[in-house]
Structures are given as C-alpha cells and as structure tokens.
Amino acid sequence: MPIRSLGDARFGMFVHANIASVPGFAPVREYADWYWSHLEPKPDVVLHPTSPLPEVVAWHAEHFPGRAFDDFIPGLTDEQFDPAAYADLAVAAGMRYVVHVTKHHDGFCWWGSALTDRNSVRQGPRRDVVEELAAATRARDLVFGAYYSLLDWAHPAYPDQAGYVDAFLHPQIVELAERFQPAVLWGDGHWGHSGAHWRADALLETVYGIADRLGFDIAVNDRFFASHADFVSYEYDVPPNAPDGAWELCRGLAYSFCWNRAERDEDHLTGRQIVAMLVETVAKGGNLLLNVGPRADGSIPDIQQRVLRDAGEWVRANADAIHGSERFSVPGAAAHWYTVTPGAAGAKGRQRVNAIDLHASAAPRFAALGAAFGRVTGVTGPDGIEFPFVQTDAGLRIDGRDWDDTTLAVRYCVDLEPSATGPIVLHTPLAAPGRITRGEVTMPSITAALEGAQPGDVVEIGPGRYSTDQETFPLVVPTHVMLRGVPGAAAPTVVIDAGGHHAVALSGDDAALVGVTVVGGAPGYMMIPPTCVSVANGSRAVVRDCTVESISVTGGDGHRIQGNVVAGGNIWCLGASDTTIHANFQHGLRWGPGIEVRGGANHVVDSNECTDDLCAVRVAGATHVLIDENRYESRWFGIHVDASSAVVVRRNQAWQTMRAINVENSDDVLVERNLAEHCDTGALVERAATNVRVVENWFHDCRVGVLCWDDDATVVRDNAISEPRDHAVVLNSDADLVNNDLGGGDAYRVRT
C-alpha cells in the first residue's frame, strides 16, 4: 500500500542537520545528531548508552575544551548550502521526495519560526533553509515533507502540557503546515510521553483540517502516538516480514543521520547495497527514506554524493519497477525479489512482474515464478531485449549470460498470465499436522498429549504445521516431559505456529523442548521481544536445536539453552542461576540485547553468535559469570557487564561494534584474550568499575583501543593495539598501564 500524498514515489531523501553538525562527532555506529545528550544528561533519552558518553566527553575535552553546546551555533553557517544541488542530487539518485528535518531534538528550527528566536533566520545561517529547500525540491518535481521532533532539549517548559505542548509544539506544527504545506509530516522524539500527553489526536485533526482548507494532501507517520497514522516508520533494518499497510524505512548512508567525522568511506553503504535495500523494501511494499547529513557549512560530503549517484544510475534505468510498483504475490528472498508494474503487460489479465536478481547470475532461477503461479509468456530486459527462459514447477530459469556482471542488479520484465485459481504456495510437507505420539500412542493434538503426560514421557511430533486450528496455546510442557520433533526430522519441517499467542511454556523441573520451529508468538515492541518460548516454575529446563522467535527464562537453576536459532527476539534469563547459554545463533531484535542475563549466579554464556542488535550480550546484577568464545557484530554494545561481579570475558570476537566490551559499575572483572576489529572502542571500563583487568587482548583498527573513565584500580596489561585511528588508550583515571603494544598510538590522558 503506497503512502497517501506521495503518489508513486517510493524512494526519498532525508536531510538531517542540527547544531551537532558543527562538532560533527560520535563514536562510530552512534548518532552524531545526539551530541548534546552524549555530552551531558538530557531528558527522555532511551535505548542509548548511559549519558554522558565517555567517548564524547573525552573527544570534546580534547577538541573543544570548556565549550557549551549552544556555543556551536555561530559555526552553523550553511555558507555552502545550495538547495538546487540537494534537489539535483535527489533526482540523480532516482529519488522522488525529500523530507527535511525542520527541528531536531536540540530545538533549533531551520525556518523563521515566529515562536522562537532559536532558528536559522535569526541565528547561525541567517537563512530560511526550509523555505529554500522546499522551493528547490518542488522546482524539480519532487515532493516535499517535513520532519519535526516532539522532544525538545532546549525549550524551558518541556515537556509541560500547558507551557510546551499547547503553547509551543501545537502552534509550531500549525505554522509548518500552513506555511510549507508538506506532503508528509514526519514526527519523532515521541517516546518519552503518551499520545494523550502530546494531545496527538487533536493535533492531527488540526493538521488534516489545514490540508483540507488549503487544498493539499498530507500523510502523518506513527511517531506521534496518535490513534491514527497513515504509515509506520521503521529505522535502519528492513523488517524481516512484509508489514501490512503503508510503511517506510529510514536510515543514514552510514551509521549516523547527522554528519559524523569519525565515519570513514567504508562505513557507508555502497551503491550496490543501496539498490539491494531499496529493492527489498519496495518488494515488501514499503518506501525507503535514505538520509544525507550535511556538514555545518551545508555541503554534502563527497562519499554521500558518490554512493547515491552510483545507485541512482540503476534506479533511474529501472524506475518503473520501483516507483508506482505494487507487491507481487510473494516479495522474494535472499538475492531474488519481485514487484509488479501496473498496466505494463498489455493484454487483459496479464501481469508485468519485475524479477530482480541482486547477484546478476548467469542463469538465475526465480522460484516464485514457477508454473503454479501462472504461465510466463515472455521475458525481456528493461530495454526490450528478449531472454531465453524455461518455466517448470520449480521456478523460472532465465539465460542471462548477456548481462554485464558489473551491474548492481539485473531486472527481468516477466509477462505472466496468472493461474486462474491464483498463486498456489506449496507448504508440503507442512500443509497438515504430522503424527503426534506419546510413547507408542498416537495422540489427536500436542495439547492433548501434553495434558496427559507423566514424568518421563516424550511427546514426539512429525513434520507439519501445528496451529490454532487444533492446538490451545500456550502449549505447556510439564515436569520431566520432553516435547520434540521426531528424530531425523529437520527443525524447519516441524512448525508450531501460535498465531500471535504465547507459544510454548516449559513449566516444572526438567521440562524440555527439542528440534522444532516455533513461530507466531505474542508480538513484542522495541526492547520487548515476542513472547514465544518461556521457561518458569522449575529448574534444569532444556531448549535445544530449535528455531524460535525468543526464549525467556525466569527463576530456577541449571537451565540449558543450546544450539538454537533465535530470529527477531532474544534469549532472556531473569533471576535464574547456573544457566548455560551455548552455541546459539541470535539475530534481529534490533532495539535491545540479543542475550541478556539479569541476576543470579554461576552462568555460562559461550560459543554464541549474535548480530543486528543494540547489544550482543548483556550481564546485569549477576555474579560469577563466564562469557567465552562468542562472536558478534552489534550496534552500540558488544558485551556489556553492568553492576555485576566476578565476571570473566574471555576469547570473544567483535566486529564493527561501537563498544566491543563495556564494563560498567562492576567489580572483579577479567577481560582476557578477546579480539575486536574495526570497532570504535575495543574495551571501555567506566562508572565506578573496580578491579578490572584488561589483559592480553588484541584491538585492531579501532578508533580507541582501551578507554578508562571514572573507574578505579583498572589494570591494562600485555594488550596489542594495532592501527588505532585516534588514540591507543584514553583515560581520565589512574589506570595501571603495563607492557602494552600501542601500535604507534599514544596513551592520552584527559583532564576534566
């Protein structure tokens, strides 16, 4: 479903700048736009590491000692700001709309607002940037939209309803709507308070009324917490499953929205990656809003321009597969994605399916275009050149050897006469539940088998899909009972689908779940994962060799979570002891820790692989924990030890993570023989951490190897810090540095 008011536009440019563009710094993988809250505590900061960030305080003390945040405003000159060049870049990138950040969390407005002097006409650039960019955008036939942050760290009355919401926020949004008539009103900074606090429903009613009165279309996103939204906003990652309704993905070209001087060219998306992300997003029915972050002088960095132009050549050549396209029966997967160009196939009933191969293979096979979906009558390239093909039940195979393998992606225009009965999606052997046995007895359902199970029983289920049609959820596995897929069946063929309910509950000592796939758990939100598989009211539970959305363990001891694939959620261990979390592959929670252990003692977290989260492994309020031989690539924290004691962090491998290892407010922690590559900081020891030993680690190509901040009695010994990008060691404490190889870098002491 397209976003109303944008017409056929599916690809747009986000433009982020604020006062923070002057220092232009954040730890790599953090948001530079949040510099003020990284430097000193601010209200309604969620998810981010505890403020202030030592990395930012240290950098600020080195480069801008004693300077207050608002002292940067005169440096926000925009002297190189050329709105026509911005619009031309959007056109070159194949984009069709622009959303400008008119006010970010720092409260600086980029237009001559009558409600505050904290704006770009009265300070800094002395230009009405919103007016200029809106005019240039529309002159290139691009659609213009406005971002507005409800959060405002500068307003003295924030977040008071009378003094801020009613007297400032509502009138200012009315001012934006009446003056600039944006096609999109993109809210943000909403998370600190409810929609009722923001009076969001009344605000949007006013905005829609203005649009009706002035005769323009407007769409509003879901970040006002109102009871209605025209589209849902996702951030940084394409959702794994195609959302219903209108939606949009936003992200920076690198890890930050505002310009971050610490980001290198290799931190940015390539043209090929932009095309791949755009294609997947559009195939799943969404829009992609890709951000540029100008410098304080208004110029867009060369690397950002270059990758957009690289991608744009492909996007413009294949515009009808992107803009105005519709979803196909299936979006696709991996390297192969599908969209439909309405009306392009000519004959009535025929579809023009755009089959896009991101790998540019010589002979791709498109599984979703097999005979079950209809008859393929022809395959051409965008230029009309015909390609030989063979269609079977297994898919459509195309002879694509004539393509240049340097292209960013290959698009085939497939004329399809759909099956009269519609597409048939084969689930064999998952079309019906398999055989269910308890002992040697066949049972009518898993629910019935578990209800009558006695200690020592094993309930086995054969390949098939078990759903709300025959099961009552949650399936409760009682004391000393195992629920497992029949031996020899692969977990993906044995599927329990809870249909949006709590799926499986292990309740009682020695309950076990083995060798099944569990989907359709009760939905989570942000840091709260889906409620899928839970362990409670017992000890020594086992979850092994399963594919699940999430696993939560509460209380008890001696649990073992081993060999699972955890997709879209996390492994959560709360108040238990003696728990082993071993050899799991976890990814995709995005807004929280992949593996989180809170409380208890004598845990082992080892040999796991985690990606795509804010934190890979977090241990909080626990004692005697071994974190060993894990591999991870996460956003802000790799391994985070918080308020814990007697913890060993050993032989782990981090890749492209802001803080590979972070020890905070903890005692007696050994950080030993770990490897961190291409991270911002290899090891951060901070906030009253005591008796921490950072020993025999290798930190390669990190901006800072080791950072010690407000800690006590830390020993940094026998570490190899190779190719540090800033300083090998940064500290404001009396940490003991012994026999480290600093790789040509230095140990920099910050005096604050």
Single out the residue in 383, 399, 418 at which a domain terminates. 418
Nearest in space to 124 (alpha carbons), one of 107, 137, 142, 141 = 107
297: left (phi over 0), alpha (psi -120 to 50) or beta: alpha
- Distance CA(595)–CA(617), nearest Å, equals 5
Dist CA 302 CA 190 (whole Å): 33
Task: Decide if 100 contacts 92 (C-beta within 8 A).
Answer: no
Say yes or no: 237 and 353 in one domain.
no
* Same domain as 298, residue 385: no
Q: 292 and 353: one domain?
A: no
Cis preceding-peptide flag for 243 (omega within 30 of 0): no
The segments of the chain whose pLDDT lies below 70 read: 345-348, 405, 420-431, 752
Name the phi and psi angles at 669, rounded to 5: -125, 130
Q: Are 478 and 438 in contact (CB under 8 A)?
A: no
The last residue of one of the domains, among 318, 343, 366, is: 318
Give the CATH number of the domain where residue 363 resides: 2.60.40
Residue 468 maps to a domain: no
Is residue 732, in this structure, part of any structural domain at all? yes
Cα–Cα–Cα angle for 261, 265, 271, nearest 5°?
130
Domain that holds residue 348: 326-418
Q: How much is the pLDDT for 430?
A: 47
Say if residue 538 is in the same domain as residue 687: yes
Number of independent structural domains in the chain: 3
Instruction: Write down the pLDDT at residue 421.
Output: 55
Which pLDDT value is given to residue 241?
Answer: 84
Domain C-terminal end among 354, 387, 418: 418
**Distance, CA of 253 to chain centre:** 14
Q: What is the pLDDT of residue 348?
A: 66
> What is the spatial distance between Cα 29 and Cα 632, in angstroms, rounded to a whole number?
14
Q: Say how far apart CA 662 and CA 660 lie, in whole Å.
A: 7
The verdict on 386 and 339 lying in the same domain is yes
**Same domain, yes or no, for 363 and 487?**
no
Q: Rounded CA gap, 402 and 717, in Å? A: 58
Please report whether residue 123 resides in a domain: yes
**Could you give phi then psi for residue 308, rounded to 5 degrees?**
-65, -40
519 located within any domain? yes
pLDDT at 231: 98
What residues pair up with 380 in beta bridges, in sequence order?
386, 413
Q: Beta strands 653-655 and 675-677: pairing type?
A: parallel
Cα separation, 198 vs 176, whole angstroms: 17
Does 313 lie in the same domain as 346?
Answer: no
Round to whole Å and give the CA distance between 313 and 315.
6
The predicted pLDDT at position 429 comes to: 39
Q: Residue count of the chain, please give it.
A: 752
pTM over 0.85: yes
Q: Assess if residue 430 is contained within a domain.
A: no
C-alpha separations of 218 from 146, 211, 441 in Å? 10, 7, 62
Q: Quote the CA–CA distance of 185 and 164 in Å, as a whole number.
A: 19
Mark whether 83 and 230 lie in a shared domain. yes
The DSSP symbol for 164 reads I
Do 552 and 669 have their domain in common?
yes
Position 438 in a domain: no
Residue 432 covered by a domain: no
Measured on CA atoms in the order 422, 423, 426, 432, is the torsion positive or negative?
A: negative
Q: Are residues 170 and 296 in the same domain?
A: yes
CA angle 587, 275, 238 (to 5 degrees): 30
Same domain, 492 and 405: no
Same domain, 293 and 357: no
Assigned domain for 423 exists: no
User: How many CA atoms, within 13 angstroms, populate the side-chain half-sphere of residue 291?
Assistant: 26
